[in-house]
Each structure stands twice: as C-alpha cells, then as structure tokens.
C-alpha cells in the first residue's frame, strides 16, 4: 500500500507509549497497533483528529505517500 503510517516515529519523538496514547485518545490498543504496523485499511477522521490533538501534530506528520511498484505501473499504463 502506498500510504504509510509514521505513528511509531512520532511516538518515539514524543516519548509516549502506545498504551499511553490509547488511553488519551480513547482507541483500543489493538486498533492502534494495527494502525502503527501499517495493517489498517482505513482510518476515521475522528480518530485522526484525536491522534493529532493528543500528539500535537498535523495529519501529514502521521501519514505519508510512498508509491509502490503497482502504483507506478498503473500510472504508466494510464499514459
């Protein structure tokens, strides 16, 4: 998937554990773990809002776009 979640980096910078974040955001530890490991297929705006509020960051600091080989091939086929 081309969208990467950089939650682990931000947690490290903030010296915050996933458990602490879970308690402050009100999202289960299991769901945050799925998000952190990049296995999530979607994220609710309300969750993204809560993460940004607690971590004092912008959505772009949590998410990045890194094209995969499939994305590059699809773009080439479209041309």
How many Cβ atoms are within 10 Å of 22's Cβ, its own excluded?
Answer: 16
Average pLDDT, the chain: 90
Taking each helix axis from N to C terminus, what angle separates 18-25 and 29-36, rounded to the nearest 10 degrees? Answer: 120
* pLDDT band for position 67 (cuts 50, 70, 90): confident
Q: Is the pTM of this model over 0.95?
A: no
Q: Range with the lowest mean pLDDT among 1-5, 8-12, 43-47? A: 1-5
* pLDDT band for position 76 (cuts 50, 70, 90): low
Q: How far apart are CA 66 and CA 68, in angstroms?
A: 6
pLDDT at 21: 98
In this predicted structure, the answer to whether residue 54 has a pLDDT above a threshold of 90 is: yes
């Amino acid at each position: 998937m081309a969208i990467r979640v950089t939650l682990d980096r931000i947690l490290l910078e903030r010296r915050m554990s996933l458990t602490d974040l879970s308690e402050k955001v009100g999202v289960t530890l299991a769901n945050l773990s799925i998000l952190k490991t990049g296995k999530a297929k979607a994220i609710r705006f309300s969750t993204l809002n809560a993460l940004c509020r607690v971590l004092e960051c912008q959505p772009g600091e949590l998410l990045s776009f890194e094209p995969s080989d499939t994305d590059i091939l699809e773009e080439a086929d479209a041309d």
